[in-house]
A and B are shown apart, each in its own frame.
Chain A
Amino acid sequence: MTEKNIPLWEVFIRSRTGLAHRHAGSVHAADAEMALQNARDVYTRRGEGLSIWVVPSHVITASDPADRDSLFEPTASKIYRHPSFYDVPEEVGHM
């Protein structure tokens, strides 16, 4: 008998430090409730998290690595988007 595969979920965890949820890994589970339970057992055995999100892996749309240059390269030349591009007179002090 060939068994049906159990769906894959991506796990995101908000750590204690109050930062945004961050990708931790993935788990297999038949439904969302079990995915949460499994994520808790697999990824938070030492108080790593205060909140967990689970998302079915197949619903994630990712950018294509081949488009990396066209997507991200244009920002490299826009140095005027950074504070260090602007001069503030020294007498004014820290700004």
Chain B
Amino acid sequence: MYTQALNVKDTALPAADPQREARFQARIDAEEKIEPNDWMPDGYRQTLVRQIAQHAHSEIVGMHPEGNWITRAPSLKRKVALLAKVQDEGGHGLYLYSAAETLGVSREELVEQLLDGRQKYSSIFNYPTMTWADVGVIGWLVDGAAIMNQIPLCRCSFGPYARAMIRICKEESFHQRQGYEIMVALCRDGTPAQKAMAQDALNRWWWPVLMMFGPSDQDSQHTDKSMRWKIKRFTNDELRRKFVDATVPQGRYLGLTFPDPDLKFDETTGHWAFGAIDWSEFRRVVSGDGPCNRQRLRQRKRAHERGAWVRAAVLAHAAKRRAREQAAAGVAAE
């Protein structure tokens, strides 16, 4: 998911403090929120910084695939909606960077780590947006999957992250609905060519969206600890299954088919069973070799470099004003 970072191995941690750790765990078990100044194990801090940073980076890089269509939206209504959505994603990135900063890292450091590749963003944003239907599918499925993941994060044990997620979840629902509305327009009210375009978009996005939830539970390295710390409330596979169950009927309403011959309703479990995910594709995209990885990072770096003079200018302006005020105060005091 936006938190695929949970599936990376920890670096070496300093010696543990079992007594404090037990007290910490007791607070978590009692559903108390952990706040920035509270004592916490280094592993908890490290996991959260990595997860929140990856989540923030995903919101920021996530603006690119959709931003690609703002100037070509088919109507003014669609254009203002898409603009507002992309602006929201930028805002989500900022809420999350500020949550991460409460753990003692600076936003500048995190941005640097995104740009030099030390920190990742969600694999899903390395796929291209080829047609307008992709914008519909992203809202419907990518934001839909994000919501599935983010709702339990509103109860995350770390206060600033949980509070940022509550704010984000309130805004996400519009994202998903505007995407689905685009799909309805193409599939139920559109021409056969428009419906075919929607089907093509679903065919390309379906599997990458399922991969957003991260490796299956047997291969996920962090699930246990994150669950114990109540950073995570459901496993990757649980969330993926919930998502498939919620989404298949929505796709059928559109009259679309899913690109999975094994997808069928299982009467005994009451869930939709789906085919095997191609994890080699997932690993390839995460390690930097997806269709758009290079382009996304190049665009982020360029935006950062082109903004450098603005950052320098606002700081210089603030310093000059401060100096002027101080000088005036000095004259007044004489």
Q: Which residues of A contact B (CB under 8 A)?
A: 3-6, 8, 25-31, 34, 41-42, 45-46, 62, 64-65
Contacts and interface: CB of A to CB of B under 8 A. Distances in A.
* Nearest 3 A/B pairs, CB to CB: A30-B314, A30-B318, A31-B318
B137 interface: no
B312 A3 contact: yes
Nearest to B98: A26
Given A3-B308, A3-B311, A64-B37, A27 B106 contact: no
B38 A65 contact: yes
Nearest to B164: A25
Contacts of A5: 106, 108
Dominant SS among interface residues on chain A: loop
A41 B90 CA distance: 10
Contact of A45 (B39, B91, B107, B318): B91
A3 B108 contact: yes
- For B35, B98, B321, the residue with the greatest tally of chain A CB atoms inside 10 Å of its CB is B98
B101 interface: yes
A45 B312 CA distance: 27
A41 B163 CA distance: 18
Given A3-B312, A31-B314, 17 more contacts: A3-B308, A5-B108, A8-B98, A25-B95, A25-B98, A25-B99, A25-B163, A26-B98, A26-B101, A29-B314, A30-B318, A31-B318, A34-B314, A34-B318, A62-B37, A65-B35, A65-B38
A31 B317 contact: yes
- For A3, A4, A25, A65, the residue with the greatest tally of chain B CB atoms inside 10 Å of its CB is A25
Contacts of B318: 30-31, 34
A42 B35 contact: no
B315 interface: yes
Interface of B: 35, 37-39, 84, 87-88, 91, 94-95, 98-99, 101, 106-108, 163-164, 167, 171, 308, 311-312, 314-315, 317-318, 321
B91 A42 contact: yes
B257 to A, nearest CB: 37
A42 B91 CA distance: 5
B315 A6 contact: yes
B314 A6 contact: yes
B37 A42 contact: no
Contacts of A34: 314, 318
A28 B35 contact: no
Contacts of B91: 41-42, 45
A65 B321 CA distance: 37
B88 A42 contact: no
A46 B84 CA distance: 11
A46 B318 CA distance: 29
30 contacts: A3-B308, A3-B311, A3-B312, A4-B315, A6-B108, A6-B314, A6-B315, A25-B98, A25-B99, A25-B163, A25-B164, A25-B167, A26-B98, A26-B101, A27-B98, A28-B107, A29-B314, A30-B314, A30-B315, A30-B318, A34-B314, A41-B91, A42-B91, A45-B88, A45-B91, A46-B171, A62-B37, A65-B35, A65-B37, A65-B39
A46 B39 CA distance: 36
Nearest to A4: B315
A3 B163 CA distance: 30
Given A3-B311, A3-B312, A30 B37 contact: no
B108 A45 contact: no
Nearest to B319: A30
Nearest to A8: B101
Contacts of B167: 25
A30 B87 contact: no
A45 B98 contact: no
Contacts of B317: 30-31
A34 to B, nearest CB: 6
Contacts of B99: 25
